[in-house]
């Protein structure tokens, strides 16, 4: 579903990672958000592939990737590093959206020798989000607290189409998802193993991921250049003011701005997203 890209599956300790690759040049890893898969990059990846070797993967447990029970972002990041090494890349840039951005910044913290550049789309660090959580957060990001097992899995399994389409329509500025893309996202939520893994990943966010972030805050810093992009009318802008101020508490070299789109900017406004990503990547 990404023109000119070939599919692959890579076995790593603790997971099987599915993805697509295309293009040539310096390597760039694209990590998707929720409730999507790697095909969320279908409007961005081909343009990046004109200058870069582009690898777009499903996070462990998401999409057509699997997981054997490790759900922290530290584990997910390790899986992606192993995939890139298997494909022949010891260093690479990472672009992440939503959950993929959380995996990406954890990767930059845990593997500073590996990540050359980091772009994070529409997030602030996980512990910062939970530390500032309030009524608006609970209502707006209700999936973050939709955690009780097996209630969450059971309810999602009962209405996967409604669940996925509600999320897409709530967080998108426009109808940015063609029917075949929506169908692809829904397909994964019909798989009980995928739903369970995603729920477990959200449970890890509220526990293990926050613990890892809290231990690193003020101790470790992201040493590679960071680009932060966000929706000017969305939750990140409304709740955190200028998210660059938060990212500068975590990284030495931070730039960024808003994209005139909703949460799913790579699908809603691919041209404008590329206008920011390409100069950032070229600066390397």
Residues 207-243 pLDDT 10s? 999 999 999 999 999 999 999 999 999 999 999 989 9
CATH of the domain at 30: 3.40.50.1820
Domain region containing 36: 6-282
Q: What integer is the mean pLDDT of 42-56?
A: 98
* pLDDT reading at 174 higher than 80: no
Supply the pLDDT for residue 147.
83
Q: Which residue among the candidates 58, 98, 122, 209 is catalytic per the annotation?
A: 98
The secondary structure of residue 209, as a DSSP letter, is I
62 located within any domain? yes
Q: What integer is the mean pLDDT of 101-128?
A: 98
Residues 233-278 pLDDT 10s? 999 999 998 999 999 999 999 999 999 999 999 999 999 999 999 9
Tell me, yes or no, if the pTM score tops 0.95. Answer: yes
* pLDDT reading at 19 higher than 90: yes
Q: What is the number of residues in the chain?
A: 284
CA dist 114 and 117 (Å) reads 9
Residues 6+ apart with CB under 8 A from 22: 2, 4, 5, 6, 45, 46, 49, 53, 54
151 located within any domain? yes
Q: Is 122 known to be catalytic?
A: no
Work out whether strand 115-121 and strand 226-230 pair parallel, antiparallel, or are unpaired.
parallel
Contact indicator for 14, 75 with CB cutoff of 8 Å: yes
Mean pLDDT estimate for the chain: 96
Strand spans (E) along the chain: 6-12, 15-22, 27-31, 53-57, 66-67, 92-97, 115-121, 226-230, 254-258
Q: Report the domain count for the chain.
A: 1
Residue 36 gets the label, from left (phi > 0), alpha (psi -120 to 50) or beta, of: beta
Contact indicator for 73, 209 with CB cutoff of 8 Å: yes
133 located within any domain? yes
Q: Which residue among the candidates 42, 196, 263, 276 is catalytic per the annotation?
A: 263
CA dist 212 and 219 (Å) reads 11
CA dist 79 and 250 (Å) reads 23
Q: Is 134 known to be catalytic?
A: no
What confidence category does residue 171 fall into, taking pLDDT thresholds of 50, 70 and 90?
confident
Q: What integer is the mean pLDDT of 140-168?
A: 93
1 located within any domain? no
36 located within any domain? yes
């Amino acid at each position: 579903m990404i023109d000119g890209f070939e599919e692959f599956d890579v076995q790593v300790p603790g997971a099987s990672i599915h993805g697509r690759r295309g293009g040539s040049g310096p390597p760039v890893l694209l990590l998707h958000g929720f409730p999507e898969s790697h095909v969320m990059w279908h409007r961005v990846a081909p343009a990046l592939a004109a200058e870069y070797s582009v690898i777009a993967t499903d996070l462990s447990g998401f999409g057509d990737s699997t997981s054997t029970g490790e759900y922290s972002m530290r584990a997910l990041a390790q899986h992606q590093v192993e995939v890139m090494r298997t494909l022949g890349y010891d260093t690479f840039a990472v672009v992440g959206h939503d959950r993929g951005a959380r995996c990406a910044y954890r990767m930059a913290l845990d593997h500073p020798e590996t990540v050359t550049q980091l772009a994070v789309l529409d997030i602030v660090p996980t512990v910062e989000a939970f530390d500032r959580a309030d009524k608006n957060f609970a209502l707006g990001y209700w999936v973050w607290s939709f955690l009780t097992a097996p209630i969450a899995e059971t309810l999602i399994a009962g209405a996967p189409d409604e669940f996925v389409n509600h999320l897409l329509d709530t967080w998108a500025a426009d109808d940015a998802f063609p029917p075949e893309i929506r169908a692809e996202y829904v397909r994964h939520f019909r798989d009980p193993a995928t739903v369970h893994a995603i729920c477990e990943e959200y449970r890890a966010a509220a526990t293990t991921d926050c613990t890892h972030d809290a231990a690193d805050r003020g101790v470790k810093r992201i040493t590679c250049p960071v680009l932060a992009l966000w929706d000017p009318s969305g939750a990140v802008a409304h709740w955190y003011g200028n998210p660059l101020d938060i990212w500068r508490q975590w990284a030495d070299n931070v730039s960024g701005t808003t994209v005139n789109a909703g949460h799913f900017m790579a699908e809603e406004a691919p041209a404008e997203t590329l206008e920011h990503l390409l100069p950032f990547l070229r600066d390397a």
